[in-house]
Amino acid sequence: MHFKYAAILTTVFVTLMYGYAIPMLFPIAAFTFLNYYIVDKLLITYYYQKPPVYDDKLNTATLRLMKYAPLFMMFFGYWCMGNVQIFNNVTNPLSFANVPIITGHTIAPNLSVDLPLFIGGLFVVFVLVCTDIFSKCLVKCKIMEAESEIEVDEKLGSYFECLSVIDRKIWMAEEANNSGRLGIQSIGNWTMEKLRTTYGGKKVVKNAPNYEILANPNYQASF
């Protein structure tokens, strides 16, 4: 799921950043989002058997970053449209190779097609700053509640209760072998007692329960 959000953010920022200079990026981005929408709908409907367990943090962080994309569009578009060689066909000849090229393209706004983009960029900055300050003031005045994380209690129990019977037996057997034959002890007596006496719940940890990557059967199958 995370790489899909990364692809969407990359498409949005690249399109809005260079869209004024390369207008073909806008239909390409529209086709990309349409492709994402159709493919994800088909995969969710006919392929995925169980929806992934995610909270709203990834989606919220993506939306929080995406609101800065218009800012890039305004200022990068202002820089592209301010190039005097595009609309005014003004070029300064180069007399000597060791003299810097004077393009006449500066950051100062002119009364040209780039002025609305510069004003729009300042307006976007003003809106973002005012929105942040206004929301903080509302929270301090207790008019609006602060955003809080949603805590979901799935009643999983303790870590030892989430281990299956087979995983506990394998772990205990490996620990007994390493301790008796090799003199290596990776867990203490309290942990060993918990593995022996704790009764597992209905929801258990899949694959490697003790963070040993080589003990993961899916990892071993990839070789």
| Residue-averaged pLDDT of the chain | 78
What is the residue whose two structure tokens read 């940890």? 205
pTM for this one? 0.57
pLDDT tens-place string over residues 59-69 = 888 888 888 88
What is the mean pLDDT of the segment spanning 13-28? 90
**What is the secondary structure of 151-203 as a DSSP string?**
P-------TGGGS-HHHHHHHHHHHHHIIIII----S-HHHHHHHHHPPP-SS
Tell me: pLDDT of 31 over 90. Answer: yes
Q: Are 77 and 26 in contact (CB under 8 A)?
A: no
pLDDT tens-place string over residues 171-212 = 888 888 888 888 888 788 888 888 888 877 667 776 666 655
pLDDT tens-place string over residues 126-159 = 888 888 887 778 777 777 676 666 666 667 777 7
- Higher-pLDDT residue of 37 and 159 is 37
Measured CA distances, 91 to 41, 54, 103, 105, 193 (Å):
52, 55, 7, 10, 82
Tell me: pLDDT of 214 over 80. Answer: no
CA distance 5 to 52: 14
